[in-house]
Structure 1
Amino acid sequence: MTIQAVIFDWAGTTVDYGSRSPIVAFQQAFANVGIEITEAEIRKDMGLDKYTHIHKIINLPAVQNDWQARFQVLPTSDDCDRIYVDFKAILLASLTNFAQLKPGMPAVIDYLNSQQIPYGTTTGYDEEMLSIVAPIAANQGYQPVVNITSAQTNGIGRPAPAMLELACDQLEVTDLTQVLKVGDSINDILEGQNADTITVGIVEGSNLMGLSEDDFAALSIPQQALLRAKVASQYEAAGADHILLSMSELPALIDAINAPVADL
């Protein structure tokens, strides 16, 4: 087999260790209307486009109960729209602080370029968010050929395969079974499965792990090991084809996949 292309996610996969920027923005936007939400409630549906994610959060039973207790009515679509506008403003204001490439990415970029393997992205960001993050990433050497948002697929985001299929089409990929989809959430894995690509889950710095680089480094060695195992088990349960501790292991994985099978 020969890998024809690699399709990455953004936050938590290639930039923003721990996928912190959306968490901060979601919590602040809901706090601004008096509703407290936990990281676990947010991370459950990470990987969706942000507007759909707002709707998922606001329809959680705990959030519905808190909203009704506070306002004596259930939230409406207009409430979702207002929270989304606030969320987006908060996120846009903070994205420049969360656009640093994750450890291992510079070497991965060099490897893909040297092997002439094209790469692109699918993302829960929208175009305005990407317009902030992409130039900062480009200054660090990360320049995906294509960046696909749900606006380009008539609002159809992950876990459906539409964005991934469009990315591959624009890269002129002829066989999606020879594409790697690399992500840091369960929705990334499901997206890849639905498009019939090879799925790769990244453990460290992922949405599933949820810790900043400093917070992870502050854990004891046994605590780090337990957390890595927990995240890996979630990818395994979702059916990921490959689970990598960090992005630095990706070149070796591609070499192994591309290696010719010995004659029997």
Structure 2
Amino acid sequence: MSIQAVIFDWAGTTIDYGSRAPIVAFQKAFSNVGIDITEAEIRQDMGLDKYTHIHKIINLPAVQNDWQARFQVLPSNDDCERIYHDFKSILLASIAEFGELKPGMTDVVTYLTEHNIAYGTTTGYDAEMLALVLPIAAKQGYRPTVNITSAQTNGIGRPAPAMLELASDQLEITDPTTVMKVGDSVNDILEGQNADAITVGVVDGSNLMGLSQDAFATLSDVQQAALRAKVAGQYESVGADYIIESMVELPALIDSINQPVTDH
């Protein structure tokens, strides 16, 4: 068996160290209606499409309680729509600031190209968000062949396999076990598992870690090691096939999987 295609996530995996852009936008959009939400509340459902994610946040008991205390009613679908549109405009205005490729990605692209391994993405972004991200990534040499949003799968996003299956189909890969899904959230791993793909969780700069590069660098070696172990544990708990510290390790991992087995 050998890896024929790699399907990446975007924020926190290939760009936007720490997956900061969506967090900032979620917090600002809810703050604009007088509701404070924590990073932990946001991050538990990262990897979903953004509209579904807004619904998840607004249905959290703490948010429902705060909303009722503030407005004397529970939030409605119209409220969800309003927050989503505000979130989207905030994200679109800031997304370019968070578009830098994560460490190791340039070498990953070179490796995949040299080894004729196809690559694409599935994402919680919508087409409008992707339209801003793609040229920023392209300027840095990262040009995925296919980029699948839930709008292309009848609104079915992660953790269902639909987006990953469509990406594989468009790359003309018929055997799902030759597809590698690389992501930075639990929903990425579940998406890969549900599509029968090989799953890889990235630790540094991931949504699960949640720190910017500067914030992570200020930690002591002991603190960094503890945080990495915690994130790795979360991937292990959902059965990720492989866990890498950073994208720097991905080419060697693919090499080891693609190495022919020889009898001694």
TM-score tier (shorter):
over 0.9
The alpha-carbon deviation at position 174 of structure 1 amounts to 1.5
Q: What is the percent sequence identity of the aligned residues?
A: 78
Residue 61, structure 1, aligned to residue 64, structure 2: no
Question: Mind listing any 5+ residue stretches in structure 1 that lack a counterpart?
Answer: none
Deviation above 4 Å: which 4+ runs of structure 1? none
Map of 1:188 onto structure 2: 188
Map of 2:142 onto structure 1: 142
Map of 1:133 onto structure 2: 133
Deviations 1:164-217 (A, max 9, x none): 000000000020011100000000000000000000000000000000000000
| Distance in 1 of aligned mates of 2:141 and 2:97 | 17
Secondary structure (helix, strand or coil) at the match of 2:80 reads: helix
Matches within 5 A, 1:78-227: 78-227=78-227
| Distance in 1 of aligned mates of 2:8 and 2:93 | 24
| Distance in 2 of aligned mates of 1:110 and 1:262 | 28
The alpha-carbon deviation at position 26 of structure 1 amounts to 0.1
Secondary structure (helix, strand or coil) at the match of 2:230 reads: helix
Residue 240, structure 1, aligned to residue 227, structure 2: no
| Distance in 1 of aligned mates of 2:174 and 2:62 | 45
Residue 44, structure 1, aligned to residue 9, structure 2: no
The alpha-carbon deviation at position 263 of structure 1 amounts to 1.8
Q: Give the aligned residue type for 1:115.
A: H
Please report the RMSD computed on the Cα atoms of aligned residues, expressed in angstroms: 0.5
Map of 1:257 onto structure 2: 257
Deviations 1:98-127 (A, max 9, x none): 000000000000000000101000000000
Q: Give the aligned residue type for 1:200.
A: V
Residue 75, structure 1, aligned to residue 75, structure 2: yes
| Distance in 1 of aligned mates of 2:63 and 2:137 | 35
Deviations 1:122-174 (A, max 9, x none): 00000000000110000000000000000000000000000000000000002
Question: Mind listing any 5+ residue stretches in structure 2 that lack a counterpart?
Answer: none
| Distance in 2 of aligned mates of 1:112 and 1:120 | 11
The alpha-carbon deviation at position 2 of structure 1 amounts to 1.1
The alpha-carbon deviation at position 249 of structure 1 amounts to 0.4
Q: Give the aligned residue type for 2:52.
A: T
Map of 2:10 onto structure 1: 10
Secondary structure (helix, strand or coil) at the match of 1:260 reads: coil
Q: Give the aligned residue type for 1:13.
A: T
Secondary structure (helix, strand or coil) at the match of 1:166 reads: helix
Secondary structure (helix, strand or coil) at the match of 2:120 reads: strand
| Distance in 2 of aligned mates of 1:202 and 1:12 | 9
Secondary structure (helix, strand or coil) at the match of 1:73 reads: coil
Q: Give the aligned residue type for 2:88.
A: K
TM-score (norm 2): 1.00
Map of 2:21 onto structure 1: 21
The alpha-carbon deviation at position 84 of structure 1 amounts to 0.2
The alpha-carbon deviation at position 239 of structure 1 amounts to 0.4
Q: Give the aligned residue type for 1:64.
A: Q
Question: How many residues were matched structurally?
Answer: 264
